[in-house]
């Protein structure tokens, strides 16, 4: 970190690969705040080669890829330590540098928000993703469904599911299980059963988590023998 600061102070801009390597080390040590501070201190726009000249095209592409990967790691790290607001800041910083986030980076942000019970921010990230023309995947929808279910907003779950179908994205066992869980948590066992039946009709095999959720649904409906 100090070496990069000295290089910058001497008038040379470290390459994105340099910054990525140091920041990545911070991320691995669960020190995401220091990694983000380093990004803000050095900056990643207009990175140069080690000699201070413009980097060749191939190196530039490698640098951009490394920078995107590091931002992605930062988002993951902030999500792991329960700071969705910081994860969103990293996403915004990434965009301000002209870097296009990947779908899985958005998924990490949405997941961080969902895990902390911040459904509104999860939806905000989901909407931003679509505004920027980044196609969501099944993992994206699974996390949004989970976010709604976690705060008891099961009324939105089927809306999200219908958007998923409209976009031609195949639901997975996680999708259906998240929906079942959402209805169980909101004390709507009949809805949970409907989703379970739909899942079977679509040929999706339930897993252990799904069955455990259905047991809870039957207990809620006073039908434990089912």
Rounded alpha-carbon distances, angstroms, from residue 224 to 43, 110, 177, 216: 59, 35, 19, 8
Full-prediction pTM beyond 0.75? no
Q: Shortest CA distance to 167 belongs to which of 204, 145, 140? A: 140
- Element (H or E) spanning 22, and its range? helix 16-28
- Cα–Cα distance between 15 and 192 in angstroms, integer? 52
Q: Which residues contact 125 (CB under 8 A, 6 or more apart)?
A: 88, 91, 106, 109, 110, 113
More confident residue, 15 or 126: 126
- Cα–Cα distance between 196 and 211 in angstroms, integer? 9
Least confident of 15-19, 163-167, 177-181, 220-224: 15-19
More confident residue, 15 or 174: 174
Q: Which residues pair with 96 in a beta bridge?
A: none
Q: Shortest CA distance to 21 belongs to which of 75, 64, 67? A: 67
Q: Please report which confidence band the pLDDT of residue 89 belongs to, taking 50, 70 and 90 as the band edges.
A: confident
């Amino acid at each position: 970190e100090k070496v990069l600061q000295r290089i910058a102070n001497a008038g040379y801009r470290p390459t994105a690969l340099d910054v990525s390597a140091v920041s990545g080390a911070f991320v691995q040590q669960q020190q995401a705040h220091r990694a983000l501070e380093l990004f803000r201190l050095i900056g990643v726009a207009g990175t140069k080669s080690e000699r201070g000249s413009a980097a060749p095209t191939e190196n530039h592409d490698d640098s951009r890829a490394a920078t995107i990967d590091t931002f992605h790691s930062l988002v993951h790290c902030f999500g792991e330590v329960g700071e969705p607001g910081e994860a969103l800041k990293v996403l915004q910083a990434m965009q301000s540098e002209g870097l296009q986030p990947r779908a899985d980076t958005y998924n990490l942000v949405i997941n961080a928000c969902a895990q902390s019970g911040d459904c509104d921010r999860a939806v905000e990230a989901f909407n931003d993703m679509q505004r920027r023309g980044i196609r969501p995947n099944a993992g994206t929808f699974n996390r949004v469904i989970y976010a709604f279910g976690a705060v008891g907003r099961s009324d939105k779950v089927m809306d999200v599911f219908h958007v998923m179908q409209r976009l031609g994205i195949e639901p997975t066992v996680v999708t259906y299980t998240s929906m079942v869980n959402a209805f169980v948590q909101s004390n709507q066992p009949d809805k949970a059963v409907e989703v379970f039946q739909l899942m079977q009709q679509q040929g999706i095999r339930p897993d252990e988590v799904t069955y455990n959720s259905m047991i809870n649904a039957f207990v809620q409906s006073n039908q434990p023998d089912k």
